[in-house]
């Protein structure tokens, strides 16, 4: 009999030991600094934050931060970072926007890095991002460009990256505007180079104003 478990739980403790993951977070943070307005009042939600590496790399550029992840192991690593000061003041949420109610909160920036290819149905998650963002807020998605399925082990039920035009359409369907894509980084795995994009989308003002 097998119990269901989250594969990210066992990866959490050694996640930050991989220099490539630390470097990826640094490069992504630099791309975000270049792509969206940031400041001391910017309320950041990082969704699927893992051990919080991207938020750590952005910490000096933003205001209050909230980090969400479905893996208890990842959340435990982040909690330790809150306690030791590496993620001082951060809130940590156990949240799956595919199934959980959307929290009654507002953010100026939602960042999600290498997460959406693990999300079976994007539609409710993108809609939840739009709900969580304040008018004019930005959604930043970093993920794999469409790949041949070799990035993950066989049998893993994930998206094989994303076609940029298709994802742009899904973001527009969720109500986002001004969707742009740029090349962001590359991941090397078993001698293969997998490109990553950064998509930036704007949450337009809610009708009715106020």
Binding site for ligand SAM (CB under 6 A): 8, 21, 25, 47-50, 53-54, 68-71, 74, 96, 98, 113-115, 118-119
Tokens of 49: 């934050």
At how many degrees (to 10) do helices 122-132 and 164-173 cross?
60
Minimum gap (Å) between residue 97 Cβ and ligand SAM: 6
Give 104's DSSP letter.
Answer: S
Residue sitting closest to ligand SAM (CB): 50
Minimum gap (Å) between residue 112 Cβ and ligand SAM: 7
For residues 134 and 129, give the distance between their C-alpha atoms in angstroms, rounded to a whole number. 10
Give 15's DSSP letter.
Answer: G
Q: Which is nearer to ligand SAM, 38 or 119 (CB)?
A: 119
Q: Which is nearer to ligand SAM, 54 or 200 (CB)?
A: 54
Strand partners, 37: none
Minimum gap (Å) between residue 19 Cβ and ligand SAM: 13
**Helix (H) or strand (E) segment spanning residue 27:** helix 19-35
Q: Which is nearer to ligand SAM, 20 or 88 (CB)?
A: 20
Minimum gap (Å) between residue 209 Cβ and ligand SAM: 32
Minimum gap (Å) between residue 96 Cβ and ligand SAM: 4
Q: Which is nearer to ligand SAM, 38 or 184 (CB)?
A: 184
Minimum gap (Å) between residue 73 Cβ and ligand SAM: 8
- Quote the longest CA-to-CA distance of the chain: 54
Q: Which is nearer to ligand SAM, 131 or 204 (CB)?
A: 131
Q: Which residues contact 179 (CB under 8 A, 6 or more apart)?
A: 168, 171, 172, 199, 200, 201, 202
Strand partners, 66: 45, 91
Tokens of 160: 């094989």
Q: Which is nearer to ligand SAM, 47 or 162 (CB)?
A: 47
Tokens of 112: 């999600």
Strand partners, 145: 162
For residues 161 and 85, give the distance between their C-alpha atoms in angstroms, rounded to a whole number. 34
């Amino acid at each position: 009999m097998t119990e269901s478990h989250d594969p990210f739980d066992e990866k959490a403790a050694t996640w930050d030991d991989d220099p490539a993951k630390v470097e990826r977070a640094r490069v992504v943070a630099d791309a975000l600094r270049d792509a969206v307005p940031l400041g001391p009042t910017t309320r950041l939600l990082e969704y699927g934050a893992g051990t919080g590496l991207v938020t750590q790399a952005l910490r000096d550029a933003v205001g209050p931060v909230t980090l969400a992840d479905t893996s208890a192991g990842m959340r435990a690593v982040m909690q330790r970072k809150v306690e030791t000061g590496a993620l001082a003041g951060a809130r940590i949420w156990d949240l799956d926007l595919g199934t959980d109610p959307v929290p009654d909160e507002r953010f100026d920036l939602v960042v999600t890095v290498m997460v959406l290819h693990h999300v079976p149905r994007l539609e409710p998650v993108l809609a939840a991002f739009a709900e969580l963002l304040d008018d004019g807020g930005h959604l930043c998605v970093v993920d794999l460009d469409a790949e041949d399925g070799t990035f993950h082990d066989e049998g893993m039920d994930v998206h094989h990256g994303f076609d940029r035009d298709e994802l742009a359409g899904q973001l527009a369907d969720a109500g986002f505007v001004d969707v742009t894509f740029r090349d962001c980084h590359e991941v090397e795995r078993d001698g293969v180079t997998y490109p990553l994009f950064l998509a930036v989308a704007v949450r337009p003002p809610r009708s009715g104003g106020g």
